[in-house]
Structure 1
Amino acid sequence: MSPDAPTRAPLRLAGFVPFSTVDRPGHLVATAFTQGCPWRCTYCHNPALIDPRRRPGATWSELLDLLERRRRMLDGLVISGGEPTLHPGLADACRDVRDLGLEVGLHSGGAWPARLAHVLPLVDWVGLDVKALPDRYEEVTGAAPSGRAAWESVRLLVESGVDHEVRTTVDPTVHTRDEVLAIGARLTAIGVRRWVVQEARPDGARAGWVRRLDRRRLSDVLYDDDLPGVERRVGV
Protein backbone atom coordinates (compact mmCIF):
# COMPACT_ATOMS: atom_id res chain seq x y z
CA MET A 1 0.00 0.00 0.00
CA SER A 2 1.28 3.49 -0.86
CA PRO A 3 2.61 5.69 2.00
CA ASP A 4 -0.30 8.13 1.67
CA ALA A 5 -2.97 5.41 1.82
CA PRO A 6 -5.51 5.75 4.66
CA THR A 7 -4.67 4.06 7.93
CA ARG A 8 -8.20 4.17 9.40
CA ALA A 9 -10.55 1.20 9.22
CA PRO A 10 -13.85 2.56 7.87
CA LEU A 11 -15.50 -0.85 7.62
CA ARG A 12 -15.57 -3.89 9.88
CA LEU A 13 -14.96 -6.69 7.41
CA ALA A 14 -15.87 -10.34 7.71
CA GLY A 15 -13.78 -10.99 4.61
CA PHE A 16 -13.55 -10.40 0.87
CA VAL A 17 -13.23 -12.27 -2.41
CA PRO A 18 -10.77 -11.05 -5.05
CA PHE A 19 -12.91 -11.76 -8.12
CA SER A 20 -16.67 -12.06 -8.66
CA THR A 21 -18.81 -12.04 -11.80
CA VAL A 22 -22.13 -12.36 -9.95
CA ASP A 23 -22.13 -9.58 -7.35
CA ARG A 24 -22.54 -6.86 -9.98
CA PRO A 25 -23.97 -8.35 -13.17
CA GLY A 26 -21.88 -7.63 -16.24
CA HIS A 27 -18.85 -6.51 -14.24
CA LEU A 28 -15.73 -8.14 -12.82
CA VAL A 29 -15.42 -6.98 -9.23
CA ALA A 30 -13.91 -7.75 -5.89
CA THR A 31 -16.49 -8.12 -3.12
CA ALA A 32 -16.15 -7.06 0.51
CA PHE A 33 -18.45 -8.52 3.16
CA THR A 34 -19.12 -6.26 6.11
CA GLN A 35 -19.78 -7.68 9.56
CA GLY A 36 -23.14 -6.99 11.21
CA CYS A 37 -26.79 -6.85 10.20
CA PRO A 38 -29.86 -5.53 12.08
CA TRP A 39 -32.20 -8.17 10.64
CA ARG A 40 -32.62 -11.93 11.05
CA CYS A 41 -34.04 -12.93 7.69
CA THR A 42 -35.70 -16.32 7.46
CA TYR A 43 -33.59 -17.52 4.55
CA CYS A 44 -30.25 -15.91 5.53
CA HIS A 45 -27.55 -18.20 4.16
CA ASN A 46 -24.67 -16.59 6.06
CA PRO A 47 -25.87 -16.00 9.64
CA ALA A 48 -22.25 -15.62 10.78
CA LEU A 49 -22.38 -12.10 9.35
CA ILE A 50 -25.23 -10.96 11.63
CA ASP A 51 -23.39 -10.26 14.90
CA PRO A 52 -21.50 -6.92 14.57
CA ARG A 53 -19.28 -7.85 17.52
CA ARG A 54 -17.79 -10.87 15.79
CA ARG A 55 -14.04 -10.67 15.27
CA PRO A 56 -13.15 -9.24 11.83
CA GLY A 57 -11.88 -11.69 9.26
CA ALA A 58 -9.94 -9.11 7.22
CA THR A 59 -8.73 -5.54 7.46
CA TRP A 60 -9.51 -2.57 5.26
CA SER A 61 -5.80 -2.12 4.55
CA GLU A 62 -5.56 -5.69 3.26
CA LEU A 63 -8.47 -5.06 0.92
CA LEU A 64 -7.03 -1.78 -0.36
CA ASP A 65 -3.72 -3.54 -1.04
CA LEU A 66 -5.58 -6.12 -3.14
CA LEU A 67 -7.49 -3.45 -5.05
CA GLU A 68 -4.35 -1.46 -5.75
CA ARG A 69 -2.58 -4.54 -7.14
CA ARG A 70 -5.51 -5.61 -9.30
CA ARG A 71 -7.18 -2.37 -10.25
CA ARG A 72 -6.30 -2.81 -13.94
CA MET A 73 -8.11 -6.16 -13.93
CA LEU A 74 -11.19 -5.08 -11.99
CA ASP A 75 -14.13 -2.83 -12.78
CA GLY A 76 -14.60 -2.05 -9.11
CA LEU A 77 -15.51 -3.19 -5.64
CA VAL A 78 -18.92 -4.28 -4.40
CA ILE A 79 -19.48 -3.64 -0.70
CA SER A 80 -21.88 -6.25 0.60
CA GLY A 81 -22.89 -7.62 3.96
CA GLY A 82 -24.21 -8.10 6.42
CA GLU A 83 -25.55 -4.57 5.98
CA PRO A 84 -22.94 -2.03 4.85
CA THR A 85 -24.96 1.00 5.96
CA LEU A 86 -24.53 -0.20 9.54
CA HIS A 87 -21.01 1.21 9.38
CA PRO A 88 -20.44 4.97 9.87
CA GLY A 89 -17.29 4.77 7.73
CA LEU A 90 -19.07 3.56 4.58
CA ALA A 91 -18.75 6.91 2.81
CA ASP A 92 -15.01 7.05 3.53
CA ALA A 93 -14.65 3.51 2.21
CA CYS A 94 -16.40 4.49 -1.03
CA ARG A 95 -14.05 7.44 -1.43
CA ASP A 96 -11.01 5.21 -0.88
CA VAL A 97 -12.13 2.92 -3.70
CA ARG A 98 -12.89 5.79 -6.06
CA ASP A 99 -9.46 7.27 -5.34
CA LEU A 100 -8.03 4.09 -6.89
CA GLY A 101 -9.99 4.77 -10.09
CA LEU A 102 -12.44 1.95 -9.42
CA GLU A 103 -16.22 1.97 -9.39
CA VAL A 104 -18.22 1.24 -6.25
CA GLY A 105 -21.17 -1.12 -6.06
CA LEU A 106 -23.28 -1.47 -2.93
CA HIS A 107 -25.53 -4.24 -1.69
CA SER A 108 -28.09 -3.11 0.89
CA GLY A 109 -31.38 -4.09 2.44
CA GLY A 110 -32.29 -0.44 2.91
CA ALA A 111 -32.48 -0.66 6.70
CA TRP A 112 -31.43 2.99 7.15
CA PRO A 113 -32.75 5.22 4.35
CA ALA A 114 -30.92 8.36 5.49
CA ARG A 115 -27.60 6.53 5.59
CA LEU A 116 -28.23 5.09 2.14
CA ALA A 117 -29.06 8.55 0.80
CA HIS A 118 -25.77 9.85 2.23
CA VAL A 119 -23.66 7.41 0.21
CA LEU A 120 -25.67 7.31 -3.02
CA PRO A 121 -23.61 10.14 -4.58
CA LEU A 122 -20.49 8.02 -3.97
CA VAL A 123 -21.63 4.77 -5.61
CA ASP A 124 -22.04 3.73 -9.24
CA TRP A 125 -24.53 0.92 -8.76
CA VAL A 126 -26.79 -0.44 -6.01
CA GLY A 127 -28.27 -3.89 -5.54
CA LEU A 128 -31.18 -3.30 -3.15
CA ASP A 129 -33.08 -6.15 -1.54
CA VAL A 130 -36.84 -5.76 -1.18
CA LYS A 131 -38.07 -8.59 0.97
CA ALA A 132 -41.85 -8.19 1.17
CA LEU A 133 -44.71 -5.72 1.08
CA PRO A 134 -44.25 -3.13 3.86
CA ASP A 135 -46.71 -4.64 6.32
CA ARG A 136 -45.26 -8.13 5.89
CA TYR A 137 -41.59 -7.35 6.42
CA GLU A 138 -41.44 -8.58 9.98
CA GLU A 139 -42.30 -12.10 8.83
CA VAL A 140 -39.06 -12.14 6.82
CA THR A 141 -36.70 -9.91 8.82
CA GLY A 142 -37.96 -10.39 12.39
CA ALA A 143 -37.97 -6.59 12.81
CA ALA A 144 -41.32 -4.81 13.01
CA PRO A 145 -40.44 -1.36 11.52
CA SER A 146 -38.25 -2.71 8.73
CA GLY A 147 -40.79 -2.47 5.89
CA ARG A 148 -41.24 1.28 6.07
CA ALA A 149 -37.48 1.84 6.01
CA ALA A 150 -36.85 -0.51 3.12
CA TRP A 151 -39.52 0.93 0.87
CA GLU A 152 -38.36 4.48 1.65
CA SER A 153 -34.91 3.35 0.53
CA VAL A 154 -36.40 2.17 -2.75
CA ARG A 155 -37.92 5.60 -3.34
CA LEU A 156 -34.65 7.38 -2.54
CA LEU A 157 -32.68 5.06 -4.82
CA VAL A 158 -35.01 5.61 -7.78
CA GLU A 159 -35.03 9.38 -7.28
CA SER A 160 -31.22 9.46 -7.10
CA GLY A 161 -30.84 8.20 -10.66
CA VAL A 162 -28.08 5.78 -9.60
CA ASP A 163 -27.96 2.61 -11.67
CA HIS A 164 -29.58 -0.17 -9.70
CA GLU A 165 -31.08 -3.60 -9.44
CA VAL A 166 -33.81 -4.45 -6.96
CA ARG A 167 -33.94 -8.08 -5.88
CA THR A 168 -36.61 -10.08 -4.07
CA THR A 169 -35.68 -13.44 -2.62
CA VAL A 170 -38.85 -15.51 -2.69
CA ASP A 171 -39.31 -17.52 0.50
CA PRO A 172 -41.96 -20.22 -0.01
CA THR A 173 -42.44 -20.39 3.78
CA VAL A 174 -43.63 -16.75 3.77
CA HIS A 175 -44.45 -15.47 0.29
CA THR A 176 -47.51 -16.24 -1.77
CA ARG A 177 -47.81 -15.80 -5.51
CA ASP A 178 -50.18 -12.87 -5.05
CA GLU A 179 -47.72 -11.11 -2.74
CA VAL A 180 -44.80 -11.50 -5.14
CA LEU A 181 -46.89 -10.12 -8.00
CA ALA A 182 -47.97 -7.22 -5.78
CA ILE A 183 -44.34 -6.44 -4.91
CA GLY A 184 -43.53 -6.27 -8.61
CA ALA A 185 -46.47 -3.97 -9.36
CA ARG A 186 -45.51 -1.62 -6.55
CA LEU A 187 -41.87 -1.47 -7.64
CA THR A 188 -42.92 -0.70 -11.21
CA ALA A 189 -45.17 2.11 -9.98
CA ILE A 190 -42.27 3.64 -8.03
CA GLY A 191 -40.07 3.55 -11.14
CA VAL A 192 -37.65 0.70 -10.47
CA ARG A 193 -35.84 -0.01 -13.73
CA ARG A 194 -34.68 -3.56 -13.05
CA TRP A 195 -36.25 -6.13 -10.74
CA VAL A 196 -34.99 -9.67 -10.21
CA VAL A 197 -36.65 -12.50 -8.30
CA GLN A 198 -34.30 -14.93 -6.62
CA GLU A 199 -34.77 -18.44 -5.34
CA ALA A 200 -34.15 -18.88 -1.62
CA ARG A 201 -31.46 -21.49 -1.13
CA PRO A 202 -31.02 -23.79 1.85
CA ASP A 203 -27.19 -23.81 1.83
CA GLY A 204 -25.98 -22.32 5.10
CA ALA A 205 -29.46 -21.38 6.33
CA ARG A 206 -30.81 -22.22 9.77
CA ALA A 207 -31.90 -25.84 10.16
CA GLY A 208 -35.42 -24.95 11.33
CA TRP A 209 -36.10 -22.87 8.23
CA VAL A 210 -34.66 -25.55 5.95
CA ARG A 211 -37.11 -28.04 7.44
CA ARG A 212 -40.03 -25.67 6.87
CA LEU A 213 -38.86 -25.00 3.33
CA ASP A 214 -39.22 -28.73 2.67
CA ARG A 215 -37.40 -28.51 -0.70
CA ARG A 216 -39.86 -26.03 -2.17
CA ARG A 217 -38.52 -23.87 -4.96
CA LEU A 218 -39.32 -20.61 -6.70
CA SER A 219 -41.39 -22.61 -9.18
CA ASP A 220 -43.66 -23.67 -6.29
CA VAL A 221 -44.65 -20.02 -5.78
CA LEU A 222 -44.71 -18.50 -9.28
CA TYR A 223 -46.15 -19.90 -12.49
CA ASP A 224 -43.81 -20.23 -15.45
CA ASP A 225 -45.60 -17.42 -17.32
CA ASP A 226 -45.75 -15.01 -14.38
CA LEU A 227 -43.75 -11.77 -14.62
CA PRO A 228 -42.65 -11.88 -18.27
CA GLY A 229 -39.39 -10.03 -18.75
CA VAL A 230 -38.38 -10.32 -15.09
CA GLU A 231 -35.17 -12.28 -14.54
CA ARG A 232 -35.37 -15.31 -12.28
CA ARG A 233 -32.20 -16.39 -10.53
CA VAL A 234 -32.25 -19.98 -9.39
CA GLY A 235 -29.58 -22.24 -7.97
CA VAL A 236 -27.09 -19.43 -7.25
Structure 2
Amino acid sequence: MKADNLVIGGMAAFSTVDYPQHLAATLFLQGCPWRCHYCHNPHLIPAYPGRDPVTWQQVRQHLDNRRGLLDAVIFSGGEPTIQKALLPALQETRAMGFHNGLHTGAPNLRRLRPLLPWLDWVGLDIKALPSGYEAVTTRRQSGPDSWAAIDTLQAAAVDFECRLTWHGALHATEDVIAIGEALSRKGVRRFALQLAREGGTMLNPALLTATNRRRDTDLVRQALSPCFESLEVRE
Protein backbone atom coordinates (compact mmCIF):
# COMPACT_ATOMS: atom_id res chain seq x y z
CA MET A 1 0.00 0.00 0.00
CA LYS A 2 1.30 3.45 -0.96
CA ALA A 3 0.50 6.91 0.35
CA ASP A 4 -0.88 7.70 -3.09
CA ASN A 5 -3.84 5.44 -2.23
CA LEU A 6 -4.94 7.71 0.60
CA VAL A 7 -8.53 8.84 0.04
CA ILE A 8 -8.73 12.49 1.09
CA GLY A 9 -12.04 14.29 1.32
CA GLY A 10 -10.57 17.74 1.94
CA MET A 11 -7.61 19.77 3.19
CA ALA A 12 -7.17 22.86 5.34
CA ALA A 13 -3.93 24.37 4.07
CA PHE A 14 -3.22 26.18 7.38
CA SER A 15 -4.66 25.51 10.82
CA THR A 16 -3.75 26.95 14.21
CA VAL A 17 -6.33 24.93 16.18
CA ASP A 18 -5.96 21.29 15.11
CA TYR A 19 -2.58 20.61 16.74
CA PRO A 20 -1.82 22.52 19.98
CA GLN A 21 0.93 25.11 19.59
CA HIS A 22 1.67 24.08 16.01
CA LEU A 23 0.83 25.50 12.60
CA ALA A 24 -0.46 22.53 10.64
CA ALA A 25 -1.99 21.39 7.41
CA THR A 26 -5.06 19.29 8.14
CA LEU A 27 -6.18 16.42 5.94
CA PHE A 28 -9.73 15.12 6.23
CA LEU A 29 -9.66 11.46 5.30
CA GLN A 30 -12.66 9.72 3.88
CA GLY A 31 -14.59 6.94 5.63
CA CYS A 32 -15.92 6.26 9.13
CA PRO A 33 -17.44 3.12 10.70
CA TRP A 34 -19.56 5.14 13.12
CA ARG A 35 -22.64 7.30 12.63
CA CYS A 36 -22.48 9.78 15.51
CA HIS A 37 -25.69 11.77 15.83
CA TYR A 38 -23.89 15.13 16.04
CA CYS A 39 -21.46 14.46 13.17
CA HIS A 40 -21.07 17.73 11.26
CA ASN A 41 -19.01 16.13 8.45
CA PRO A 42 -21.40 13.43 7.21
CA HIS A 43 -19.95 13.79 3.70
CA LEU A 44 -16.77 12.16 5.06
CA ILE A 45 -18.55 8.99 6.22
CA PRO A 46 -18.63 7.17 2.84
CA ALA A 47 -15.42 5.46 1.76
CA TYR A 48 -15.19 7.57 -1.39
CA PRO A 49 -15.41 11.35 -1.72
CA GLY A 50 -17.62 13.43 -3.95
CA ARG A 51 -16.32 15.69 -6.68
CA ASP A 52 -12.74 16.95 -6.85
CA PRO A 53 -11.05 14.89 -4.12
CA VAL A 54 -7.63 15.98 -2.90
CA THR A 55 -4.81 13.75 -4.13
CA TRP A 56 -1.72 12.78 -2.17
CA GLN A 57 0.36 14.33 -4.95
CA GLN A 58 -1.34 17.67 -4.26
CA VAL A 59 -0.70 17.28 -0.53
CA ARG A 60 2.96 16.45 -1.13
CA GLN A 61 3.37 19.52 -3.33
CA HIS A 62 1.68 21.75 -0.74
CA LEU A 63 3.96 20.46 2.00
CA ASP A 64 7.06 20.84 -0.17
CA ASN A 65 6.14 24.47 -0.77
CA ARG A 66 5.54 25.12 2.93
CA ARG A 67 8.73 23.69 4.42
CA GLY A 68 9.85 26.02 7.18
CA LEU A 69 6.37 27.55 7.45
CA LEU A 70 4.27 24.60 8.57
CA ASP A 71 5.22 22.58 11.65
CA ALA A 72 2.94 19.60 11.30
CA VAL A 73 0.41 17.57 9.38
CA ILE A 74 -2.84 16.51 11.03
CA PHE A 75 -4.67 13.45 9.75
CA SER A 76 -8.32 13.86 10.65
CA GLY A 77 -11.58 12.49 9.30
CA GLY A 78 -13.89 10.78 9.08
CA GLU A 79 -11.89 8.14 10.89
CA PRO A 80 -8.38 8.14 9.43
CA THR A 81 -7.17 4.88 10.99
CA ILE A 82 -9.43 2.76 8.79
CA GLN A 83 -7.30 3.59 5.74
CA LYS A 84 -4.33 1.29 5.17
CA ALA A 85 -2.52 4.03 3.26
CA LEU A 86 -2.31 6.15 6.40
CA LEU A 87 0.86 4.43 7.59
CA PRO A 88 2.95 5.15 4.47
CA ALA A 89 1.56 8.71 4.45
CA LEU A 90 2.76 9.21 8.04
CA GLN A 91 6.15 7.82 7.09
CA GLU A 92 6.40 10.25 4.18
CA THR A 93 5.46 13.33 6.18
CA ARG A 94 7.87 12.37 8.95
CA ALA A 95 10.64 11.95 6.36
CA MET A 96 9.81 15.43 5.07
CA GLY A 97 10.50 16.83 8.52
CA PHE A 98 6.96 17.45 9.75
CA HIS A 99 5.42 16.49 13.06
CA ASN A 100 2.49 14.11 12.69
CA GLY A 101 -0.81 14.54 14.49
CA LEU A 102 -3.88 12.31 14.41
CA HIS A 103 -7.54 12.89 15.26
CA THR A 104 -9.17 9.54 15.97
CA GLY A 105 -11.95 7.84 17.87
CA ALA A 106 -9.77 4.69 17.92
CA PRO A 107 -12.52 2.28 16.84
CA ASN A 108 -9.95 -0.50 16.33
CA LEU A 109 -6.75 -0.79 18.36
CA ARG A 110 -5.28 -3.23 15.86
CA ARG A 111 -5.23 -0.44 13.28
CA LEU A 112 -3.93 2.20 15.69
CA ARG A 113 -0.92 0.36 17.14
CA PRO A 114 1.26 0.25 13.96
CA LEU A 115 0.86 4.01 13.57
CA LEU A 116 2.20 4.95 16.99
CA PRO A 117 5.94 5.10 16.14
CA TRP A 118 5.12 7.69 13.49
CA LEU A 119 2.88 9.91 15.62
CA ASP A 120 3.89 12.91 17.72
CA TRP A 121 0.45 13.83 19.06
CA VAL A 122 -3.06 12.37 19.12
CA GLY A 123 -6.42 13.98 19.75
CA LEU A 124 -8.47 11.03 21.05
CA ASP A 125 -12.20 11.50 20.63
CA ILE A 126 -14.07 10.01 23.58
CA LYS A 127 -17.79 9.68 22.91
CA ALA A 128 -19.14 8.56 26.28
CA LEU A 129 -18.39 6.09 29.04
CA PRO A 130 -17.75 2.69 27.39
CA SER A 131 -21.27 1.50 28.12
CA GLY A 132 -22.79 4.62 26.51
CA TYR A 133 -21.11 4.55 23.11
CA GLU A 134 -23.92 2.96 21.15
CA ALA A 135 -26.28 5.80 22.07
CA VAL A 136 -23.85 8.24 20.41
CA THR A 137 -22.24 6.25 17.58
CA THR A 138 -25.31 4.07 16.79
CA ARG A 139 -22.90 1.10 16.57
CA ARG A 140 -22.66 -1.79 19.02
CA GLN A 141 -19.39 -2.56 20.80
CA SER A 142 -17.91 0.76 19.75
CA GLY A 143 -16.52 1.81 23.13
CA PRO A 144 -14.00 -0.73 24.49
CA ASP A 145 -11.18 -0.13 22.01
CA SER A 146 -11.62 3.62 22.23
CA TRP A 147 -11.08 3.65 26.00
CA ALA A 148 -8.32 1.02 25.78
CA ALA A 149 -6.50 3.39 23.41
CA ILE A 150 -5.72 5.59 26.43
CA ASP A 151 -3.54 2.86 27.94
CA THR A 152 -2.00 2.16 24.54
CA LEU A 153 -1.01 5.79 24.01
CA GLN A 154 0.39 6.06 27.52
CA ALA A 155 2.46 2.90 27.08
CA ALA A 156 3.84 4.21 23.78
CA ALA A 157 4.64 7.61 25.34
CA VAL A 158 2.72 9.43 22.59
CA ASP A 159 1.52 12.87 23.63
CA PHE A 160 -2.26 13.13 23.52
CA GLU A 161 -5.38 14.84 24.74
CA CYS A 162 -8.86 13.40 25.18
CA ARG A 163 -11.78 15.34 23.72
CA LEU A 164 -15.52 14.97 24.17
CA THR A 165 -18.07 16.52 21.85
CA TRP A 166 -20.84 17.63 24.18
CA HIS A 167 -24.41 17.91 22.98
CA GLY A 168 -26.95 18.45 25.73
CA ALA A 169 -29.42 16.02 24.13
CA LEU A 170 -26.87 13.19 24.38
CA HIS A 171 -24.89 14.00 27.53
CA ALA A 172 -26.38 15.42 30.70
CA THR A 173 -24.10 17.57 32.83
CA GLU A 174 -23.58 14.74 35.29
CA ASP A 175 -22.62 12.44 32.41
CA VAL A 176 -19.88 14.81 31.30
CA ILE A 177 -18.55 15.06 34.84
CA ALA A 178 -18.57 11.26 35.19
CA ILE A 179 -16.66 10.88 31.91
CA GLY A 180 -14.09 13.45 33.00
CA GLU A 181 -13.61 11.80 36.38
CA ALA A 182 -13.15 8.39 34.71
CA LEU A 183 -10.53 9.84 32.37
CA SER A 184 -8.72 11.42 35.29
CA ARG A 185 -8.60 8.09 37.11
CA LYS A 186 -6.90 6.61 34.04
CA GLY A 187 -4.18 9.23 34.24
CA VAL A 188 -5.36 11.51 31.42
CA ARG A 189 -3.78 14.92 31.92
CA ARG A 190 -5.48 17.02 29.22
CA PHE A 191 -9.20 17.06 28.51
CA ALA A 192 -11.10 19.25 26.05
CA LEU A 193 -14.86 19.72 25.85
CA GLN A 194 -16.03 20.60 22.37
CA LEU A 195 -19.51 22.09 22.44
CA ALA A 196 -21.61 20.74 19.58
CA ARG A 197 -22.18 23.38 16.94
CA GLU A 198 -25.53 25.04 16.75
CA GLY A 199 -27.25 24.80 13.39
CA GLY A 200 -25.30 23.84 10.30
CA THR A 201 -25.15 20.18 9.31
CA MET A 202 -25.63 17.22 11.61
CA LEU A 203 -26.21 13.59 10.77
CA ASN A 204 -29.28 13.58 13.02
CA PRO A 205 -31.39 16.66 12.11
CA ALA A 206 -33.26 16.40 15.40
CA LEU A 207 -30.09 17.64 17.13
CA LEU A 208 -29.56 20.74 15.01
CA THR A 209 -30.05 23.04 17.98
CA ALA A 210 -27.40 22.49 20.65
CA THR A 211 -28.80 22.60 24.15
CA ASN A 212 -25.73 23.29 26.28
CA ARG A 213 -26.31 26.13 28.69
CA ARG A 214 -23.67 28.43 30.12
CA ARG A 215 -24.60 27.30 33.63
CA ASP A 216 -23.96 23.67 32.66
CA THR A 217 -20.55 24.56 31.25
CA ASP A 218 -19.63 26.43 34.42
CA LEU A 219 -20.65 23.45 36.58
CA VAL A 220 -18.51 21.08 34.55
CA ARG A 221 -15.55 23.43 34.59
CA GLN A 222 -15.81 23.81 38.37
CA ALA A 223 -16.08 20.04 38.93
CA LEU A 224 -13.33 18.92 36.55
CA SER A 225 -10.70 21.66 36.63
CA PRO A 226 -8.93 20.08 39.64
CA CYS A 227 -8.76 16.74 37.80
CA PHE A 228 -6.54 17.78 34.88
CA GLU A 229 -3.41 19.72 34.07
CA SER A 230 -5.43 21.31 31.26
CA LEU A 231 -9.19 21.53 30.85
CA GLU A 232 -10.49 23.46 27.84
CA VAL A 233 -14.02 24.28 26.74
CA ARG A 234 -14.08 24.89 23.00
CA GLU A 235 -17.06 26.58 21.40
Same fold, TM-score > 0.5, yes or no: yes
Identity %: 40
Distance 1:100 1:49, change over 3 A: same
CA drift of 1:156 comes to 0.9
Alpha-carbon spacing, 1:8–1:119, altered in 2? closer, same or farther (3 Å): closer
1:97 to 93, 97, 104: 93
Q: C-alpha distance in 2, partners of 1:217/1:177? A: 9
Where does structure 2 lack aligned partners over 5 or more consecutive residues?
none
| Residue in structure 1 matched with residue 67 of structure 2 by the alignment | 71
Instruction: Give the Å deviation of 1:50.
Output: 0.4
Aligned length: 227
Question: How high is the TM-score relative to the length of structure 1?
Answer: 0.90
8 A contact 2:37–2:204 mirrored in 1: no
Change (3 A) 1:39 1:149: same
User: Which one of the candidate residues 171, 175, 200 is aligned to 2:171?
Assistant: 175
- By how many angstroms is 1:51 displaced? 0.6
The equivalences for 1:124-203 within 5 A come to 124-202=120-198, 203=200
Checking the alignment, whether the CA contact within 8 Å between 1:108 and 1:126 is kept in structure 2 is yes
Match of 1:119 in 2: 115
Distance 1:106 1:38, change over 3 A: same
Deviation, 1:77, is: 0.4
Q: Corresponding residue for 1:36?
A: 31
Q: 1:52 Cα deviation (Å)?
A: 0.6
Compute the RMSD of aligned alpha carbons.
1.8
1:14 correspondence with 2:9: yes
Query: Relative to structure 1, is the Cα distance of residues 186 and 8 closer, same or farther in structure 2, using a 3 angstrom cutoff?
Result: closer
**Hey, what does 1:217 align to over in structure 2?**
212
CA distance in 2, matches of 1:32, 1:168: 21
Return the alpha-carbon distance in structure 2 between the equivalents of residues 146 and 139 of structure 1: 10
CA distance in structure 2 between the aligned counterparts of 1:128 and 1:64, rounded to whole angstroms = 26
Structure 1 residues 8, 85: CA separation in 2 closer, same or farther (over 3 Å shift)?
closer
1:34–1:84 contact (8 Å) kept in structure 2: yes
C-alpha separation in 2, matches of 1:96 and 1:76: 12
1:227 aligned to 216, 224, 230, which one?
A: 224
Query: Match for residue 42 of structure 2?
Result: 47
- Aligned-pair CA distance for 1:149: 1.6
* Conservation of the 8 A alpha-carbon contact between 1:175 and 1:221: no
Whole-Å separation in 1 of the counterparts to 2:66 and 2:123:
23
Number of the residue aligned with 1:110: 106
Does the residue aligned with 2:145 lie in a helix, a strand or coil? helix
